[in-house]
Amino acid sequence: MRRRKIVIVGGGPAGLAAAEYLSASEHEVEIHEAMPTIGRKFLLAGKSGLNLTHAEPYERFVARYGVASERLRRALDAFGPLELRLWADELGADTFVGSSGRVFPKVMKASPLLRAWRARLEERGVKIFTRHRWTGFGEGVASFRMPEGETHIACDALLLALGGASWPRLGADGSWVAPLESKGVRITPLAPANCGFDVNWSAEFRERYAGAPVKSAVASSGAGKIQGEFVISRHGIEGSLVYAHAAALRDALAAKGAANLVLDLVPGRSAEKLAVALGRADTKASLSTRLRKAAGLDGVKAALVRELAPEELRRDPDRLAAAIKALVIPVVRPRPIEEAISTAGGVSWRELDENYMLKTIPGVFVAGEMIDWEAPTGGYLLTACFATGRAAGAGITHWLAGS
């Protein structure tokens, strides 16, 4: 097979993973990144500890991708959590499993791993160009805007790995949607994933409790019941427990115009026992005193009851206990997509063949968060970006061999 030129657009995990796979071939491989450096979102993700993947049983891991699980299965089978850990170990970033099952490099940071990764790619002949903003493509040509002006680069295969639309200041701004739609590629509308939500807090509650953590609660939505913690924000609610319900809340808002996150503020006690304790409380005492003495609630948890529980049920022990065990937070809307951790939507799976190539545009491939899948936090996002990048690299190799 003669030497071909492969252009990869995007220097995030998906693009870098594809380049690494392709570096084992005899082809010429180039990465073109719009930002001044590669892997900017990868570095940000590792600022407080780089969560690479998750160590839970593999079948449960794959199921985390929901409706996209079946589509992603082949890529994950080839490069899943175990392979990702072995890869990191080979680059000197030995990993460990945290108490929650999340996997981190022992040094926790992303920068040493990214430096070692880039060095290996360059040793294998991969050329990396920065400040090259992709502007479109034609048959066998990719176009970029550079500080010096426009350039058009001939290539035999083009891989787009431009990310979603969250964190636009780091390069993932969704600007690729219009060029692809103009060529007839179907795009599922981009939407925020792993995001916070607006809530119409009272001014008093907002001023006093913005930034307060709500710990040891169980939240329920269409996603099921999940225990964890979240944070009250000036706009509404944020944090890991909210992100776990984000897709269900977002979809309910889109379908019905309304959605609720239901909180159990005392998951260790039954409503019956709680009602008995509240019934024994001094009826002349304030709500705050009764909540503290009978239910063990104070601070932000007690404030949530005062904010959300209707006035008429506060003197009824049974109804108050029921409200504490199922306190309804009506969410108004997701926070803007540029604030989200990740993005839902993207290139429809129907547009891609088994090689991650666009069916209607031979020679153009897609990988990573540009594709219509989403996943919770916990290492699932990064793992699928690595897996689809490598799968697209394999697809390019296969397609070039047969073309």
Per-residue 3-state assignment (H helix, E strand, C coil) for the chain = CCCCEEEEECCCHHHHHHHHHHCCCCCEEEEECCCCCCCHHHHHHCCCCCCCEECCCHHHHHHCCHHHHHHHHHHHHHCCHHHHHHHHHHCCCCEEECCCCEEEECCCCCHHHHHHHHHHHHHCCCEEECCCEEEEEECCEEEEEECCEEEEEECCEEEECCCCCCCHHHCCCCCCHHHHHHCCCCEEEEEEECCCEECCCCHHHHHHHCCCEEEEEEEEECCEEEEEEEEECCCEEECHHHHHHHHHHHHHHHHHCCEEEEEECCCCCCHHHHHHHHHHCCCCCCHHHHHHHHHCCCHHHHHHHHHHCCHHHCCCHHHHHHHHHCEEEEECEECCHHHCCEEEEEECHHHECCCCEECCCCCEEECHHHECCCCCCCCHHHHHHHHHHHHHHHHHHHHHHHC
For the chain, which domains are there?
5-192+343-402 (3.50.50.60), 197-334 (no CATH)
Residue 372: band (very low, low, confident or very high) from pLDDT cuts 50, 70, 90: very high
Read off the pLDDT of residues 153-203 as tens digits, 9 standing for 90 and up. 999 999 999 999 998 999 899 999 999 999 999 999 999 999 999 999 999
Q: What average pLDDT does this structure show over 217-242?
A: 97
Query: For residue 1, what pLDDT is reported?
Result: 57
Read off the pLDDT of residues 313-332 as tens digits, 9 standing for 90 and up. 888 999 999 999 999 999 99
Q: What average pLDDT does this structure show over 350-372?
A: 98
Query: For residue 75, what pLDDT is reported?
Result: 98
Query: For residue 46, what pLDDT is reported?
Result: 73
Read off the pLDDT of residues 99-152 as tens digits, 9 standing for 90 and up. 899 999 999 889 999 999 999 999 999 999 999 999 999 999 999 999 999 999
Query: For residue 167, what pLDDT is reported?
Result: 85
